[in-house]
Amino acid sequence: MKRSLSILILATLAFIGCTPEDQPGATQTGFDVNLEIPAEITIETDTKTIGFNIIDGKAPKPADMIILDGPAGQKFCKIKTISGNVVSVELYAGVKEGQHKVSVQRSLDIKSLGTTNIKFKVYDDGVHPESGSSVYGRVSCEGQGLAGVVVSDGLNTVVTDAKGGFRMDADQDSSIQEVAAAVGYEDAYHFSKLFKKRYGFPPSQVKKD
């Protein structure tokens, strides 16, 4: 009994004498990974990956995980490729704009790398609303504006210009019956009920506003 107790005491003292880095399950931040984290990253809305430059050859391992901690919470992103001095990382589904803390995880160890602001790219297609315009936009295919395309809101019809842009003015004089008929509803009352259910207010409110 005394021998067993002595062994237990010695084992406990040996564990206590370990540094935190040596204890099982402890978080270590000393593994050598260094990536350049830009202050801001601008992406397309359908972007699937982002890249980080490797500093001084201190690349992560393919099995490491990149952690993005931001508006959507803490998300774990797989490393897709490591090519030359660039690490390509798969973005999490439904990525949100905002500040993200970037870390790398290897097994149970995590190292903080920095913070970046992820933003979606905003396009200016050159089409801007004029006074009185209620509907405006641009018709394009593979980034090229399409001219001569007929666009209709059910009541008004316009043709796109040379750059594919179009604008149409609000028609405040149409009755609810005319609007309902234009979009395929013979019963204006039924149309009004469906409209209110969908948008939370009756179509008559749109005319008032």
For residue range 45-78, what is the model confidence (pLDDT) as tens digits? Answer: 678 899 999 999 999 999 999 999 999 899 999 9
What domains does the chain contain, in order, with CATH numbers?
Answer: 29-120 (2.60.40.10), 133-198 (no CATH)
For residue range 152-205, what is the model confidence (pLDDT) as tens digits? Answer: 666 667 888 888 887 776 555 566 777 777 777 777 778 788 877 777 777 766
- Sheet of 109-120, strand order: 35-36, 49-54, 86-90, 73-83, 65-70, 98-106, 109-120, 40-43
Contact predicate 108/25, CB 8 Å: yes
